[in-house]
Amino acid sequence: MKELIYKGPLNSLSFGNVSYNLLKAMYKQDIDVSIFPIGKVDVSSFEETSTDFRKWMESAVKNRFSKLKSDVPTLQMWHLNGSEHRVSPRQILYTFYEMSEPTVNEINLAKFQDKVVFSSSYASEKFQGSHHAPLGFDEFFCKTDKSYMPNKIHFGLMGKFEKRKHTEKIIKSWIKKYGNNYDYQLTCCITNPFFKKEQMESAIGNILEGKRYGNINFLPFLPQNSQVNDFLNSIDIDLGGMSGAEGWNLPSFNATCLGKWSVVLNATSHKDWANKDNCILVEPSETEPVYDNIFFHQGSDFNQGDIYTFDEQDFIEAMEKAETKCKINNTQGEKLKEKFTYQNTLNKILE
């Protein structure tokens, strides 16, 4: 039996979802794991968790110190910033990188690991000597076969509000094309958990510019994966793929795997899974600095550089193209489920 120390978050955010699925893959491979959680453990999002797997996780956390051995390697799933803390002498870091210009600190932290594995080939190319292992499709997500808005074309945007993700630009472009046209609906799930309530309300107010649109609605954060699954099933066209820099982009990837059509900016990690057959691609028009003085600060020791952006008219034309396809199931998108699995992710890391 293989032994492994695992260090990573277990929560409802994207990192927590990746952790959870990597641990499920380890459980299926009968790996003897000691889990060192980062932050508070909260697996309430994962309603499908089997009793045996839950007990396995609880035991792996509870007994982590009694099973500790210096010759067992650690797999840490975390940011480069904060990855310097080791549990055992040998550490493999699985991480995400989205920017264009690795800083001296980021390069040194990558070198500090025995091995560093990124989620995308784009990130791996930025760090010489690194590897990459693509993320997988979470098998919990599935078609519901419900009827949601049969008489409308339903667009969806999921992902925390950020300049990096072009949240404001995407919504304003959609409003320019479809605002108050009731043949179309846009549902946004863009709550940023790091924003205060008034900050989030201000951000939405700036997007709408004081106007009212009856065919746009904003959802609160969805704490349960079953709610996320319902959201992804309800939409016809995903717009989250227009993000300017991603480590993978799970919402758009999962939507595509469920047979939806995603409008995708052909840049960064998107190139590992999105192509002209399974998505509506938009070529970047240029790059721009990522700095927003909220999450990205110029001159910081981490997260420096540019993101890709797009021409508004190119995006509108891509949405129009998506309209012609959205009632047809995306069979090429569904094939991604076979190629990208968390078992493959884990195996690639363990190599």
Q: Has residue 172 been placed in a domain?
A: yes
Q: Are residues 330 and 346 in the same domain?
A: no
* CA 19/CA 9 separation, integer angstroms: 6
Q: Are residues 83 and 226 in the same domain?
A: no
The enclosing domain of 29 has a CATH number of: 3.40.50.2000
Which pLDDT score, from 0 to 100, does residue 48 have?
Answer: 74
- β-sheet bridge partners, residue 75: 6, 92
Q: Residue 342 pLDDT more than 80? A: yes
H/E run at residue 207: helix 197-208
pLDDT 10s digits, 106-118? 999 999 999 999 9
Q: Are residues 54 and 191 in the same domain?
A: no
Q: Are residues 111 and 157 in the same domain?
A: no
Tell me the Ramachandran region of residue 339: left when phi exceeds 0, alpha when psi lies from -120 to 50, beta otherwise: alpha
Q: Has residue 143 been placed in a domain?
A: no
Q: Are residues 114 and 167 in the same domain?
A: no
Mean pLDDT across 198-220: 93
37-59 in b/e form (b: 16+ CB < 10 A) is: bbeeeebebbeebeeebeebbee
Q: Are residues 157 and 129 in the same domain?
A: no
Cβ distance 248 to 119 under 8 Å? yes
Q: Residue 298 pLDDT more than 80? A: yes
Q: Are residues 165 and 26 in the same domain?
A: no
Domain count, the chain: 2
Mean pLDDT across 4-32: 95
Q: Are residues 164 and 21 in the same domain?
A: no
Q: Are residues 200 and 91 in the same domain?
A: no
Which pLDDT score, from 0 to 100, does residue 301 have?
Answer: 97
Q: Are residues 126 and 213 in the same domain?
A: no
Q: Has residue 86 been placed in a domain?
A: yes
Pairing state of beta strands 91-95 and 115-118? parallel
- β-sheet bridge partners, residue 187: 156, 217
Identify the domain containing residue 263 by its residue range: 153-339
The more confident residue out of 258 and 328 is 258
Q: Has residue 107 been placed in a domain?
A: yes
Which pLDDT score, from 0 to 100, does residue 37 have?
Answer: 97
Q: Residue 119 pLDDT more than 80? A: yes
pTM of the model: 0.95
Show the tokens assigned to 222. 């969805």
Cβ distance 283 to 309 under 8 Å? no
Q: Are residues 250 and 329 in the same domain?
A: yes
Which pLDDT score, from 0 to 100, does residue 106 have?
Answer: 98
Which pLDDT score, from 0 to 100, does residue 1 have?
Answer: 59
Q: Are residues 131 and 164 in the same domain?
A: no
Beta-strand ranges (E) seen in the chain are 3-8, 32-37, 74-77, 91-95, 115-118, 131-132, 153-158, 184-189, 216-218, 237-238, 261-265, 280-282, 286-289, 306-309
pLDDT 10s digits, 179-199? 999 999 999 999 998 888 899
Q: Has residue 242 been placed in a domain?
A: yes
